[in-house]
Amino acid sequence: MEYDVVIGLEVHSELKTKSKVFCSCKNEFKGEPNTHCCPVCIGLPGALPIPNKEAVKMTIKAGLAVGSKINDIAIFERKNYFYPDLAKAYQISQAVRPICIGGGVEIENAQGQKKFIRLNRIHLEEDAGKLIHNSKIGGTMIDYNRGGVPLIEIVSEPDMSSAEEAVAYLSKLRNILQYIEVSDCKMEQGSLRCDVNISLKPKGSNELGVRAEMKNLNSFRSVARAIEYEIKRQSRLLDEGEQVVQETRRWDDARNRSFSMRRKEDAQDYRYFPDPDLLPFRIERSLVDEVKSTMPKLRDEKIEYYVNELGLSEYDAKVLTNDLNLVKYFDKVVSYFNKPKFICNFILTTVLKKVKENEESDDLDIPIDPQNFANLMQMYESGKISQAICRDLFDEIWLNNADCQKLVEERGLAQNNNEDEIKSMLQELINEFPQSVQDYKSGNAKALSFFIGQLMKRTQGKANAQIASKLIKEMLD
């Protein structure tokens, strides 16, 4: 039987505020366990929360970026449940009156078709601590550093119908959150997390099927694979006339399958109620306007800028702007060395290839200091170093971020652009390899590359390849 797939996503994203959401502890990913903690975020008796205005502003910013309506009165509520990583045994969250309501994002599939994914809400809440299983002591330790870190939960409507759409949506959302600089959105570090709700219904039917919720999805790839798996699992059940049960399932990336975590009957009653320590708070229009005025350029505007002002092709601009880290890196490098097209070409070929070789994750990080990278580009562009040397240097400084200018000086890697010297070296090669001269004369153009290859070998890549190709042609013709 054929089915329609119905998918909705709940995306959690950690806000990069300076301090935590209800106390003044540092909001930082690093740090020894339990060093960014205070009576408030470890829930000591008597401690009270104070909302972080910056976190509220960032939530508003996220809402504005996706066209949400900002509620004029928002309420913090307590979500009560016991778990060792939850210090107060309740999470301060929002249920009936979140900060943002509605909105949506437009996604595009590989064929260029557009689709609008509606949002239900964005609310602000606090993150929990982390359990660390310690085999040395044979027990579990708790690190509360993450406890109280501000988190927004972005809940979509069930508007997606394939793994591809879900990934496109997630990717678009990440892009937006990065662009407006409210979150790093690193899935590996957990600053972006995603739960997927998925159900199947007979093709064309108006009645929704029973859904399963998928958790523990740590990369775009696992989101896609978990969805594919779940579609197969549910359609097999339905084909065989069985029922899909409402449950939460845990994705196991290594085994490429999911396991049931808990059934609906075991679902907790969270006993939400308004937090009496945090009265309902008014979000003034002026605050929303203030946030609006700080909104940076979104991706579409950035693409326009790259194409119209920097002369990049639309395709290149799109690839470049797919990740805000890349955009920031590119903008920095261009600020040191103003040859955007040249730099863009190198980034989209050599750098991105390197990124893909090096990382399993979806999080883009370039370890070379932008100034250093700009220097490398300048030496290459001006002909001071050859392409071959440039690539070798790039590989090296990727690992150690050594000063590439110094390396060129110390090792004498500067390109030889002296026509006379290159000419005489080429003459030696012509004398040594008469057979190749013969090959060229009889019409084998490859013989030319042989001479260039030999020349590079002898000069350790320092000869200017462009000059050499021009000269060898002249000399043999």
Partner 1 sequence: MEIMNESLENVSKMLADKSISSVELVKASLDAISSTQKYNILHEVCSESALKSATEVDDKRARGEKLSPLAGVPIVIKDNISMKGTYTTCSSKFLENYKSPYNATVVDKLLQAGAIVIGKANMDEFAMGSSSETCAFGVVHNPRNFDYVPGGSSGGSASAVAADQCFGALGTDTGGSIRQPSSFCGVVGLKPTYGLVSRYGVVAFASSLDQVGPITKTVRDNALILDCIAGYDSNEFTSAKHQKESYYQTSFKNSIKGLKIGYAKEFFESLQNQDVVKSIENAIEFFKANGAEIVDITLPHIKDALAVYYVLSSAEAASNLARFDGIKYGVATKEYNDVIDFYFKSRTQGFGNEVKRRIMLGNFVLSSGYFDAYYNKAKAVQNLIISEFADAFNLCDVILSPTAPTSAFKIGEKVNNPLEMYLNDIFTVPVNIATLPAISVPCGVAQNGMPLGMQLIGNRFSESILYNVADYFEKNCYSIRGVK
- Going residue by residue from 142 to 171, which x/- string records binding to partner 1, judged by CB under 8 A? x-----------------------------
- Alpha helices (runs of H) in 10-99, residue ranges in sequence order: 53-65
Q: Which of 33, 80, 130, 439 binds partner 1 (CB under 8 A)?
A: 80
Q: Is position 172 an interface residue for partner 1 (rule: CB under 8 A)?
A: no
**CA 295, CA 289: separation in Å to the nearest integer?**
10
- The stretch among 66-74, 77-85, 182-190, 293-301 that binds partner 1 (CB under 8 A) is 77-85
Interface with partner 1 includes 112 (CB under 8 A)? no
Alpha-carbon distance of 402 to 337, in angstroms, equals 18
Report the DSSP pairing between strands 273-274 and 281-282. unpaired
278 binds partner 1 (CB under 8 A): yes
Q: Decide if residue 33 touches partner 1 (CB under 8 A).
A: no
8 Å CB contact between 183 and 15 = yes
Q: Is 49 in the site for partner 1 (CB under 8 A)?
A: yes
Contacts of residue 131, defined as CB under 8 A and 6 or more positions apart, other chains included, come to 84, 85, 140, 141, 142
Crossing angle of helices 465-476 and 419-432, in 10° steps, is: 50
Is 46 an interacting residue with respect to partner 1 (CB under 8 A)?
yes
Check binding of 84 to partner 1 (CB under 8 A): yes
* Closer of 47 and 298 to partner 1 (Cβ): 47
Q: How many residues bind partner 1 (CB under 8 A)?
A: 28
Q: Which residues pair with 463 in a beta bridge?
A: 416
Instruction: Categorise residue 138: left if φ over 0, alpha if ψ from -120 to 50, beta otherwise.
Output: left
**Per CB under 8 A, 280 contacts partner 1:** no
Q: Could you say whether residue 116 binds partner 1 (CB under 8 A)? A: no
| 141 near partner 1, rule: CB under 8 A | no
Instruction: Give the one residue of 42, 180, 390, 447 binding partner 1; rule: CB under 8 A.
Output: 42
- Check binding of 47 to partner 1 (CB under 8 A): yes
Per-residue tokens: 284? 């003034």
Shortest reach from residue 259's CB to partner 1, in Å: 19
The reply to whether 282 sits near partner 1 by the rule CB under 8 A is no
The answer to whether residues 362 and 344 touch, using CB atoms and an 8 Å cutoff, is no
DSSP string, 106-174: EEE-TT--EEEEEEEEEEEEE---EEEEETTTTEEEEE-TTTT-EEEEEEE-S-B-SHHHHHHHHHHHH
Nearer to partner 1, 39 or 67 (CB): 39
Query: In angstroms, what is the minimal distance from the CB of 45 to partner 1?
Result: 4
Instruction: Kindly tell me which residue out of 89, 141, 245, 295 binds partner 1, with binding defined by CB under 8 A.
Output: 89
- Distance between CA 155 and CA 378 in Å, rounded? 46
Least separation in angstroms between CB 47 and partner 1? 7
Closer CB to partner 1, residue 282 or residue 353?
282
Q: Smallest distance from the beta carbon of 209 to partner 1, in angstroms?
A: 24
CB 244 within 8 A of CB 234: yes
Please report whether residue 44 would count as binding partner 1 according to CB under 8 A.
Answer: yes
Rounded to whole angstroms, how far apart are CA atoms 333 and 345? Answer: 13
Chain residues in the site for partner 1 (CB under 8 A) = 39, 42-51, 78, 80, 82, 84, 87-90, 142, 269, 271-273, 276-279
